Structure 1
């Protein structure tokens, strides 16, 4: 008389990595090359669009919320937003060494390009074609910045408090021409109070 063995239950599926978290450890070389490319092809305010496309869309190293948080931190710190972002993301992926590698990748192409263009501009600054090229680059940077603002801006327009903070900042900077340092000193404490830990949620109109 044969005895039928009960079926062995299948092991539970391995938990998937949360959105915005790389499934495997990112190599230092990949971090360096990614920021090297961003630093080499981005111009002016348009760098935010390149950062989002590379870090969120292509690599998946950050999700939208994490990207916004890193961007807000980088804007609040001294220095260039892109450079601060490379340090923040590099540190998140591979710790202090990753932060250094990301920083070098982001700044190397810009430093070399500025050095070369500085020499070229000194010898051609009176050329009308030079002014036309710079004007075109500036217009493209504004367009890229507007595009990424539309793509990620809706995350900050879900409640009345976010809209009020944005309006206060725009009025202080664009219309009253208040120093950015003073704007940060004014808006930052207000934002910290509004988003303080443990605050009760209030129904928004």
Structure 2
């Protein structure tokens, strides 16, 4: 007979079991990876691919949690190339290794490559059409809205930390106001952030915790 759960000495009720740690699924098929990224590549119009990636990988498929998604996104943005293709390679590798990276990359790039070739021919003959230009402006505005929403959703933890907010503000000013090359921003802000968050030994034992959130 199993022992009953221990009671909370304060509330007098059984203590809740600790939440299980998130584990990346290893039974995802290559076909499922390909179809998922094919769909993301087909519907992510206007540059809002990050929002679609989060909706599919975190909310629907639950292949990643918020922390792992943000970690993969940070790596994808720091590497050369498009964020979407970098993300597909990283996530595919975490799910099924190199074969997963290959099918994820093919899935997310195939719709865009096909559509660009078709629309490129059509746009050449309709470039001055005001309805076409208005449609593109509307799609771009919607993409900005989606990117803003997903930034607030996945970055809410960083927005509660004064040091993180300072790093975000400095990066924003350097890129958007001073128009400094992204390479120089990475070479200056990146090492500074690494120094700030480097593991430190506490007065007792073990590394110290990162700065606490003010929220």
Runs of 4+ in 1 over 6 A off after TM superposition: none
In structure 2, C-alpha distance between the alignment counterparts of 1:71 and 1:125, rounded to whole Å: 34
**Deviation digits for residues 25-68 of structure 1, max 9, x if unmatched?**
10000000000000000023311110000000001100000000
Could you say what the CA RMSD is over the residues aligned between the two structures, in angstroms?
Answer: 2.0
How far is 1:198 from its partner?
3.5
How far is 1:20 from its partner?
5.0
1:113 aligned residue: 115
Of Structure 1 and Structure 2, the greater helix share is in: 1
1:104 aligned residue: 106
TM-score by length of 2: 0.83
Unmatched tracts of structure 2, length 5 or more:
3-18, 202-207
Three-state SS of the structure 2 residue aligned to 1:120 is helix
1:30-179 to structure 2, matched below 5 A, reads 30-179=32-181
Bigger drift between 158-167 and 90-99 goes to 158-167
* Residue 21 (structure 1) aligned to one of 21, 24, 29: 24
In structure 1, C-alpha distance between the alignment counterparts of 2:106 and 2:85, rounded to whole Å: 9
C-alpha contact (below 8 Å) 1:20/1:56 kept by paired residues? no
1:3 aligned residue: none
Aligned length: 192
C-alpha contact (below 8 Å) 1:90/1:99 kept by paired residues? yes
In structure 2, C-alpha distance between the alignment counterparts of 1:81 and 1:151, rounded to whole Å: 18
TM-score by length of 1: 0.87
* Residue 196 (structure 1) aligned to one of 195, 198, 202: 198
In structure 1, C-alpha distance between the alignment counterparts of 2:152 and 2:182, rounded to whole Å: 23
**Deviation digits for residues 59-85 of structure 1, max 9, x if unmatched?**
110000000000000000001101100
User: For the structure 1 residues 73 and 44, does the alpha-carbon distance in structure 2 shift closer, same or farther, using more than 3 Å as the test?
Assistant: farther
* Residue 185 (structure 2) aligned to one of 160, 183, 204: 183
